[in-house]
Amino acid sequence: MTKQYPLSTQLCINGKLVDSHSAERFSLYNPRDDSLFCDQVQYAVAEDVDAAVEAAEAAFKGPWGKLKASQRGEALEKLAVMLLEYKEELAYLDGTPTGKSVDDAVKEVEFGATILKYYAGWADKYSGESYPADDGFVKIVRNEPLGICAGINPWNGPIVIICFKLGPALAMGNVMILKPSEKTPLASNRIAFLASEKGILPPGVIQSLSGAGETGALLASHMRIRKVSFTGSVPTGKKIQEAAAKSNLKRVTLELGGKSPSAIFDDCNFDNAVWWSVFAITQNTGQACFAASRVYVQESIADKFIEAFTKGMSAKMNELNPLADKSQLARVSNFITNDAGRTKILVGGKQHGEKGCYWEPTVFYNPAKDAQIYKEEIFGPVACISTFKDEEEFLRLANDSEFGLMSGVFTQDVNRAMRISAQLDSGVVGVNCVSFISLQAPFGGSKQSGLGRELSHHALRSYSEPKTVIINMTY
């Protein structure tokens, strides 16, 4: 039996757990069996957001702002150690209301700690620039923090994505107000509280305001917040960008949806291509923005590949975690219902079992190019498999999308791989792999998949402001 932990249902403002100014309370359910997990979650309203901003400003101008870069790195290292110390509790708090297995939830916390350690190492190494005084002026460029940043986070990888934002923001000297998804608020609140209680960070450096879209809108439009980083849907991302522009033109990073394509060429390593194709659409039960949900296989190996792919998907039937909640189950079901009559289903296509929010891994064959399942992000273990003749046809099909987050190319021809990767409209291209990211390389998308990049040193740029100092050497 899973150990029970106290639930952090309050807000974390200025290092303390406090009640919201709203008397409303909200519920969370376990999608494994639809049981009630918690019914006392609090949402932040305008007064709470203002209080968090006040505390953030005090920390930024006070103790946190006075630390050396190396000391910020040490603090991030300690924060990573804290995540590992509390990994079972944090996994329970966010894994239970999304139905993740204990192992999957713990691995997510461990990956989050790895991210923080990575940015701990960057804190005193992100150098500025200088240029020679050949014109009589020395030019120095300093990278300075923005100030108060807001991180508006999703439910599918809540702790990892908290660390995506916290790591570079804190490494550069900023402070952060987190707004976790209303489905996964508890670990965020707990992390913010523990960071202050254990003396790792001064109060106000990390704060957590649970809430729904209204809370996120308050952060995006607040005149004293200088940056908002959002991970989630395209429609919400557009609203955040608009609110940011209409308020104080705050910086915006948007990591939005995907409908990622992958190409299976006839010269590929066959077993490798099958493994990655199944993994890409079933990891996290398909609830991943970069999931390769459009699989294109070259005609000459189509029958063999489709047989192996559907067999691999069927084998996952009893292994997958449930979808996050009833609303996500209804969303996936609606997609299938809307297009099932027009497209052949090779495997799956319905709820798995009568209890909980489980969905069968599903494969559609050669769907119509105007079908919802082909064009829109489903966010479930649902793949569309289509055939193509040659490189030109694959590129035309792959790039005919408003999304551009991830893509994959499976071939043993290096020249072909490089040729295609240069022409694909996506922020990340995997060669003989797909739906995979690295801390050392930037992650983000083109077109409506978002703005800006996370991970690597590119994320540090988005949390800093270059300041040019020009020194007259001839006066």
The values of phi and psi at residue 402, to 5°, are -80, -5
**What is the CB neighbour count within 10 angstroms for residue 213?**
14
Across the chain, how many H-helices and E-strands are there?
15, 22
Structure tokens at 348: 């799956």
d(CA 460, CA 8): 30
State how far the Cα of 371 lies from the Cα of 51, in Å rounded to an integer.
47
Overall residue count recorded for the chain in this entry? 475
Closest-CA residue to 112 (of 151, 55, 67): 151
255 catalytic? Reply is yes
CA distance 363 to 353: 18
Phi, psi at 28, each rounded to 5° = -125, 145
Q: Report d(CA 32, CA 338) in Å as an integer.
A: 26
Q: Which of 89, 255, 360, 454 is catalytic?
A: 255
CA angle 239–240–243, rounded 5-degree value: 85
CA distance 19 to 24: 11
Rounded Cα distance between 214 and 216, Å, is 5
Q: Are β-strands 294-298 and 344-347 bridged in parallel, bridged antiparallel, or unpaired?
A: unpaired
| Interatomic CA distance for residues 455 and 169, integer angstroms | 11
Half-sphere exposure of residue 196: CA atoms within 13 angstroms, side-chain side: 24
Helix (H) or strand (E) segment spanning residue 429: strand 428-431
Residue 426 half-sphere exposure, CB side, CA atoms within 13 Å?
30
Token pair listed for 440 = 């050392």
Phi, psi of 229 (to 5 degrees): -115, 120
Catalytic residues: 255
